[in-house]
Structure 1
Amino acid sequence: MREKIVHYFSKITPLSEEEESAIKSSAMIKNYAKGAVLVHEGQFSKETFFVLKGLIRQYNLAEGEEKTTAFFTEEQWVIALNNLEGDKPSAYYWVCEEDSVLMLGNDDSAQKIFNQFPRLESIARKIVENTFAEYQQTITTYMTDTPERRYLRLLESRPDLIQRIPQYQLASYIGVKPESLSRIRKRLMKKP
C-alpha cells in the first residue's frame, strides 16, 4: 500500500529517493470495516484521509434525513476544506461504505515532513487546490444542472459508483428521492 502512495505523489511530480522514503516511512495506514464512522457531525477532528482502497461517503443530517454530499474512492483525499485547522466541529459524517484501507494524516505530521522536505509542501498545496476545484465543480453542478443531468455526469465521470453504492444514496447525492431516480433511469433507458 505504501507503494500506491508514492505512485500517487509521483504522478504529480517526480520524487527523489529521499522524498519517497520519507513518504513511505511517515505514512500511517489503517484498515476500516464497512460501516466504520471516521468522523461524526459535530466532532472536532484534524485528520485527513487518503483512500487506498474502499469507499467513503460524506453526508450530513437535514431534518433527520441523510443528505449525501460526496463519495471518495481510490486515490482521493477526504479533506474538510472548511476546517483545515481542525478548530471547528465537522459539518459532516464520514462513513466507510466498504471495507477500506486509508492513509491518515494531520497538519502536525505534515509539518514535520515539510520541514525536512520543503518541496513536499508545494505538492500538498497542489493536492488541496485540486480537491477544492473538484468540490467547486460539484457545487456548480448542483446549482446549474437538473437531477437528470447530474446523474448523466456521474455516469460519465464516475461509472464505478453506480455499481458500488445503493440507489437511495445515489438518489440523495444527485438531490432526488429514490422514486425520482428510478423514473430518471427509466426515461434514459427509453432514449435511443
Structure 2
Amino acid sequence: MQDQLIAYFSAIMPLTAEEIAGIRESMCIRTFKKGTVLLKEGQIAKECYFVLKGCVRQYYVVEGEEKTSNFFTENQWVVSVNSFMNKTPANHYFDCTEETTLVIGTEQKENDLYSQFPKFEKLARIALEKGFGEQQAIVATRVTDSPEQRYLQLLTQQPALVQRVPQYQLASYLGIKPESLSRIRKRIALKAKAEQ
C-alpha cells in the first residue's frame, strides 16, 4: 500500500530513490473501522490524510441534520485546510463510511520532509492546487447543475461511490431528499430502458 502514495507523488514529478525512502520512512498507515469519526466540529485538525482504501465523508450539522458536502476515496487527500493550517476549530466532521486505510500526516512530519527535501514543498503545493481545483468544480456544479445532472455526473466520474455510500448520504451530497433521488434513479432507468 505504501507504493500508492509514492505513485501519486511520482505522477506529479519524478522522485529520486532517496526521496522515495524519505517518504516511506515518514509514513504512518492506519486502518479505521466504519463509523470512526476522524474530526469533529469544534476540534482543531492536527492531522491530514491520504486515502489508500475506503471512503471518508465530510459533513456539517445544520439544525440537527447532517448535510454531506463531500466524499473522499482512493488517492484523494482529506484535509480540513483552514483548521489544519490556521489552527482554528473545524466547522465540519470527517467520518469513515466504510473500513478505511489512511496515510496520516502531521505538520511536524510535513516540516521534517520539507527540510530534508526542499522539492517536497513544491510537490505539496501542486497536490493542494489539484485538490482545490477538484473542490471548486464540485462547488460549481451545485450552482449550475440540476440534481439530476449532478447525479449523472457522479455516475460518470465516480460510479462506484453510488454503490458504496447509503442513499440518504448520497441524496444529502446532491442537495436533495432521498425520495427525490429515488425518483431521479427511476427516471434514468426508464429512459435507459426506452433507448434499448
TM-score range, shorter chain: over 0.9
Structure 2 residue 94 is the aligned partner of structure 1 residue 94? yes
Which range moves more in the overlay, 99-108 or 59-68? Answer: 99-108
Q: Within 1, Cα distance between the matches of 2:150 and 2:5?
A: 31
Q: Aligned letter for 1:60?
A: Y
Q: Where does residue 107 of structure 1 map in the other structure?
A: 107
Q: Does 1:47 align with 2:30?
A: no
Aligned residue for 1:95, secondary structure, equals: strand
* Letter in structure 2 aligned against 1:113: L
C-alpha contact (below 8 Å) 1:162/1:170 kept by paired residues: yes
Residue 121 of structure 1 corresponds to which residue in structure 2?
121
Which shows bigger deviation, 86-95 or 20-29?
Answer: 86-95
Question: Given the two structures, how large is their TM-score scaled by the length of structure 1?
Answer: 0.97
| Cα shift readout 1:159-191 (whole Å, capped 9, x = no counterpart) | 010110111111000000000000111111121
Which structure 2 segments of 5+ residues have no match? none
- 2:50 and 2:78 in contact (8 A); partners too: yes
Which residue in 1 is equivalent to 2:146?
Answer: 146
Q: Retained in 2: the 8 A contact 1:49–1:104? A: yes
Q: What is the rounded CA distance, in whole Å, between the counterparts of 1:48 and 1:38 in structure 2?
A: 10
Question: What is the alpha-carbon distance in structure 1 between the residues aligned to residue 23 and residue 177 of structure 2?
Answer: 43
Extract unaligned runs of 5+ from structure 1: none
Quick one: distance in 2 between partners of 1:82 and 1:44? 9
Q: How far apart are the structure 1 equivalents of 2:30 and 2:36?
A: 12
Secondary structure of 2:88's partner? coil
SS in 2 for 1:124: helix
Give me the whole-angstrom Cα distance separating, in 2, the residues matched to 1:80 and 1:93: 9
8 Å Cα contact 1:46/1:86 also seen in 2: no
The answer for the alignment partner of 1:63 in structure 2 is 63
Q: State the 4+ residue runs in structure 1 displaced beyond 2 angstroms.
A: 81-84
- 2:44/2:84 contact within 8 Å kept: no
What SS is found at the alignment partner of 1:85? Answer: helix
CA RMSD of aligned residues (A): 1.0
The count of corresponding residues between Structure 1 and Structure 2 is: 192
The answer to whether the 8 A contact 2:57-2:97 is kept is yes
* Aligned mates of 2:91, 2:145 — CA distance in 1: 24
Matched AA of 1:56: V
Counterpart CA distance in 1 for 2:185 and 2:30 is 37
Give the TM-score normalised by structure 2: 0.95
1:16 aligns with 2:22: no
Q: Could you tell me whether the CA contact under 8 Å between 2:45 and 2:80 is conserved in 1?
A: no
Counterpart residue type for residue 96 of structure 2: C
C-alpha displacement of 1:9: 1.0
Q: Cα offset for 1:86? A: 4.5
